Amino acid sequence: MKLFANKTQKKTGMETNSLRHSPQEKLLEGLSKNLGSLNKDILEMNYIADSTNVAINAVGNSIDVINEGNSELATRTKEINQITIEMGNLIDQTSRYVEDLDKVTLNMQNSNEEVVNIFRELIEENANTENYIEEISVNTIETNQATKEIQQAIDMINSIAAKTNLLSLNASIEAARAGEAGRGFAVVAGEIRALAEQSRQSAEVIEKIIATLEEKSNKSVENIKTVQSAFEAQTSSLEKTNELMKQTNVLIQDVALKVRQIEVNEKELDDKKNVIIENMESLKTLSDSNYSATENIVSHFKKIVNNSFGIGEKAFDVSAVHEKMNAVCELAALKAQGNKSTKPEILKVAYMPNYGSLCAVVPAMKLGYFEKENLKIELYEYANGLEIIKAMEEGKIDLGYIGNGAHKFCIKGRASIAIMSHLSNAEAIIGNRSHEVRTVADLRGKRIGNVENASSETILRIALETEGISHNEVEIINMKPEEIVAAMKKGTLDAGVIWSPYTLEALKGLGNDGVVLANNMSYSNKTASISSWITLPQYAREHADVVLRFTKAIYKGMNYRAIENNVKQVADWISEVTAIDKKSAYEQRRDAQWLTEGFVSVGAQKGDVARFYEIQQREFMEAGAVERSVPISRYVLLDNMKQAAQY
C-alpha cells in the first residue's frame, strides 16, 4: 500500500496546457529538474560524508580505546619493570638468606650429631649405673638376709642364756641343800647366772641393733627399687630421645638437601630474572614506540574527521544555495498559479529533556522550517519513550521522540518509526582507576552499578561477553542513575553503566581517576543505539502527508545542527525550551553520531537504515525484550524517509 502522496498535484488539462506553453513555466521546469538533480548529488555527498563519519567514529573510538590501552600498557610496563627490579633485589636477598640457611643447617647437622653421640654415651653410662644399682640391690638384699640369720643366732643365744640361768638357779638350790659343802658350787652357780644375765642383756642390745639395721635395710631395698624404676623410665626416655634425635638428624639432612636444591633453583630464577628485565626493557621501548605511533594515527584520524566534516559542511553550503533557488522556483510557481494560503496544521510533538531529543526540532521551529511546511508545532515534555507512546495512544500526542530502549514497543507494533534521528554513544561504562579498573577486563570481581531494564544494560552485557566474564564473576547492583553517580563519587562502586548527562557528571566527579571503559561505538558491529521520531501506525496511514512534511522540516533541522558553527546556537535554543542550562546542553553535543538528511534518506534507499534497525532488533531478542523478529518494513517507514528528501 502506498502511504505517501506524490508532491506534484494534479492539474486540470487546461491548466497543464496553459503552463506548457508558458515560457516562464518551461524555465521553471528546467530549473526544477536541474535543482532536483543537484539535490540528489547533495544528498549523496551528505550520505557519503555521514557514512564516513560513522565509520571514522567507530574506528576512532577503537583507536581511543587502543590509545588508552597503550597508555595503560606503558604505565603498567613501567610498574612491572619496577616490580621486576624489586623482585630481582628480593631474589638476591633470598640468595644471601639461603647461603646463611645452608651454613646454619650444616651447623645444626654437626651439633645434632654431637648431641646424638652424647646421648649414646649417656645411655651407656646409664646402663653401667643401672648395673651398679642392681649389684647394690643384691648386696642389700643379702645384708637383709644376713641380718635375719643374725637374729636367729641371737634368738639361740637368748635361749641358751635362759637355759643357763635356769641351770644356775637349780645349782644354787642344790648348793643350798648341801650346806657348807655346796658353798663353792653356789659361788660358781652365781657367776654362771651373772654371765647368763650379761649374755641376755648383750643379746637384747644386739637384737635392737639388728632391728634398726633390718629397718634401714628394708628402706634401702625399697629405695633401691624406686631408683631402679626411675632408671628404667630414664633409660626408656633416653632411648626415645635418641630415636627422635636420629629422626631429627634425617630431617636436617633432608632440609640441607632442599636448601641445596633452592640454591640451584635460585640460580636459575636469577638467570630468568635477568631475561625478564631485558624483555621488559624491550617491551617498554616497544610500548613507547607503539604509543607514539598510535598518537600519530589519532592525529591523522582527527584530520580525516575534520576533512569529512568539511566535506559535509561544503555540501550544506551548496544545499543552502539549492534551498534558496528552490524557494525562488516555488515562489514563482505559486505566483503563476495564484498564491493561496491555508491555515497551518497544529502538531502536538513530544520530547524528552535532553539535547538529542531537541537538537533538530528546535532549529526547525526557530528557523521557520515547519512554517514552510504549513505546520505549527506544540512541544510537550515527557520523561521517557513509553510515556510518549501511551500519550499517543490516548490521543494527546501526534508525533514524538524516543531513545533506544522504547524501540521494542515499535517492534511489537505499538508505534511506527518515521525518522531515524541519530546513533547514540551517550551510554557508557565508567571505571575508577583508583580501584584498579582501567579496562573492561578489570571488571572481573568488581562492584558495578547498573540501571535495570535500561538500554545501557546491552553495553554491559556485550562488554562482559567480549572479555569472557560471566555474571557470577561480577557484583551487579541495580540502582538509579543518579545513585550510581553518587556511589562512584563516594568510592563504593568500582564502575557504573550510565548515560549522558550522568556520564559527564561521573567523569567530572572522579577527575583523573575516571575512565570510559566502553560506549555504544565500542561495539558498533554488535550493537546499535538508535533514537527515532515515531507516530502511531494509524496516524501514519491517515496523515501520511503530515508525517512527510514533518520529516522534511526535521531533516532541515538535522542539517542545520550538523554544521559545527551552529552547535552553540542550537544549545542556547535548547536551554530556552528545557531546564537544561546552556553549558550542559553544549557538553551533550558529543553524545551521538548526529545524522543528516543525506544519510537517512539515501541510507533508507540503500538499506543502511534497515540494517541498523535489524541489529537493534537482534539485541532486543538476545536480551529477551522481544520474543520474535518481524520485518523492518512493518514498523519502520522507510518510504517516508526516502520521499521527504525528494524535491
Least reliable range by pLDDT among 227-241, 449-463, 523-537: 227-241
pLDDT computed for residue 380 by the predictor: 97
- Phi-psi category of residue 8: left, alpha or beta, with phi > 0 → left and psi -120 to 50 → alpha: beta
pLDDT computed for residue 264 by the predictor: 74
Domain residue ranges of the chain, discontinuous segments joined by +? 125-263, 345-423+529-647, 430-522
Query: Is the Cβ–Cβ distance between 404 and 538 less than 8 Å?
Result: no
Query: Is the Cβ–Cβ distance between 350 and 401 less than 8 Å?
Result: yes
In one letter, which amino acid is 197?
Answer: E
**For residue 57, pLDDT beyond 70:** no
CATH topology assigned to domain 125-263:
Helix Hairpins (1.10.287)
Q: Is the N-terminal amide bond of 537 cis, ω within 30° of 0? A: no
- Phi-psi category of residue 395: left, alpha or beta, with phi > 0 → left and psi -120 to 50 → alpha: left
C-alpha cell at 92: 638476591
**For residue 121, pLDDT beyond 50:** yes
Mean pLDDT, the chain, as a whole number? 78
Cβ neighbours around 129 below 10 Å, total = 14
The DSSP bridge partners found for residue 498 are 428
Distance of CA 65 to the CA centre of its chain: 18
Spatial distance between the Cα atoms of 496 and 507, rounded to a whole number of angstroms: 11
In order, the DSSP letters of 130-151 are HHHHHHHHHHHHHHHHHHHHHH
pLDDT computed for residue 138 by the predictor: 73
Pick from 540, 527, 548: nearest CA to 614: 527
Better-scored residue on pLDDT, 298 or 242: 242
pLDDT computed for residue 176 by the predictor: 77
Percent share of the chain, pLDDT over 90: 35
Strand, helix or coil for residue 360: coil
345-423+529-647 falls under which CATH superfamily?
Periplasmic binding protein-like II (3.40.190.10)
Q: Contacts by 20-27 with C-beta closer than 8 Å and gap 24+?
A: 22/336, 24/332, 24/336, 25/336
pLDDT computed for residue 194 by the predictor: 76
Better-scored residue on pLDDT, 253 or 429: 429
Mean pLDDT of 145-151: 73
Cβ neighbours around 38 below 10 Å, total = 17
The side-by-side arrangement of strands in the sheet containing 495-498 is 475-478, 447-450, 495-498, 428-432, 514-519
Spatial distance between the Cα atoms of 124 and 128, rounded to a whole number of angstroms: 6
pLDDT computed for residue 3 by the predictor: 32
Count, residues in the chain: 647
Burial (CB count <10 Å: 0-12, 13-18, 19+), residue 386: middle
In one letter, which amino acid is 276?
Answer: I
Least reliable range by pLDDT among 66-70, 303-307, 464-468: 303-307
Spatial distance between the Cα atoms of 67 and 295, rounded to a whole number of angstroms: 7
**For residue 382, pLDDT beyond 80:** yes
Cβ neighbours around 120 below 10 Å, total = 13
> 510-562: per-residue pLDDT in tens?
999 999 999 877 887 778 889 999 999 999 999 999 999 999 999 999 999 98
**For residue 84, pLDDT beyond 90:** no
Mean pLDDT of 42-61: 56
**For residue 647, pLDDT beyond 70:** no
**For residue 283, pLDDT beyond 70:** no
How many CA within 13 A on the CB side of residue 185? 16
- Phi-psi category of residue 66: left, alpha or beta, with phi > 0 → left and psi -120 to 50 → alpha: alpha
Mean pLDDT of 407-425: 95
Least reliable range by pLDDT among 26-40, 102-116, 124-138, 599-613: 26-40
C-alpha cell at 113: 650429631
The single residue listed with the C-alpha cell 539515501 is: 602
**For residue 34, pLDDT beyond 60:** no
Which backbone phi and psi does 265 adopt, to 5 degrees? -65, -40
Per-range mean pLDDT, top range of 283-292, 334-343, 466-475: 466-475
**For residue 11, pLDDT beyond 80:** no
pLDDT band at 43 (very low <50, low <70, confident <90, very high): low
Task: Please enumerate in sequence order all residues whose Cβ is within 8 A of that of 252, keeping only pairs 6 or more positions apart, or say none.
Answer: 105, 108, 109, 112
- The DSSP code for 636 is B
> 613-645: per-residue pLDDT in tens?
999 999 899 888 899 999 999 999 999 999 998
pLDDT computed for residue 367 by the predictor: 95
Percent share of the chain, pLDDT over 70: 69
Mean pLDDT of 596-601: 91
Task: Please enumerate in sequence order all residues whose Cβ is within 8 A of that of 112, keeping only pairs 6 or more positions apart, or say none.
Answer: 245, 248, 249, 252
pLDDT computed for residue 10 by the predictor: 38
C-alpha cell at 259: 636448601
Mean pLDDT of 423-443: 92
pLDDT band at 319 (very low <50, low <70, confident <90, very high): low
Cα 114 to Cα 120, 372, 637, distances in angstroms: 10, 112, 100
Spatial distance between the Cα atoms of 612 and 417, rounded to a whole number of angstroms: 13
C-alpha cell at 252: 636436617
**For residue 491, pLDDT beyond 90:** yes
pLDDT computed for residue 4 by the predictor: 32
Distance of CA 264 to the CA centre of its chain: 38
Task: Please enumerate in sequence order all residues whose Cβ is within 8 A of that of 100, keeping only pairs 6 or more positions apart, or say none.
Answer: none
**For residue 64, pLDDT beyond 70:** no
Spatial distance between the Cα atoms of 181 and 165, rounded to a whole number of angstroms: 22
- The DSSP code for 494 is S
pLDDT computed for residue 14 by the predictor: 39
Better-scored residue on pLDDT, 104 or 6: 104
pLDDT computed for residue 22 by the predictor: 56
pLDDT band at 265 (very low <50, low <70, confident <90, very high): confident
pLDDT band at 184 (very low <50, low <70, confident <90, very high): confident
Please tell me the class of the 430-522 domain. alpha beta
Query: Is the Cβ–Cβ distance between 144 and 217 less than 8 Å?
Result: yes
The single residue listed with the C-alpha cell 547514540 is: 424
One fold for both 345-423+529-647 and 430-522? yes
Pairing of strands 416-424, 592-594: antiparallel
Strand, helix or coil for residue 468: coil
Burial (CB count <10 Å: 0-12, 13-18, 19+), residue 303: exposed
pLDDT band at 48 (very low <50, low <70, confident <90, very high): low
Query: Is the Cβ–Cβ distance between 527 and 459 less than 8 Å?
Result: yes
Least reliable range by pLDDT among 289-298, 438-447, 463-472: 289-298
**For residue 410, pLDDT beyond 90:** yes
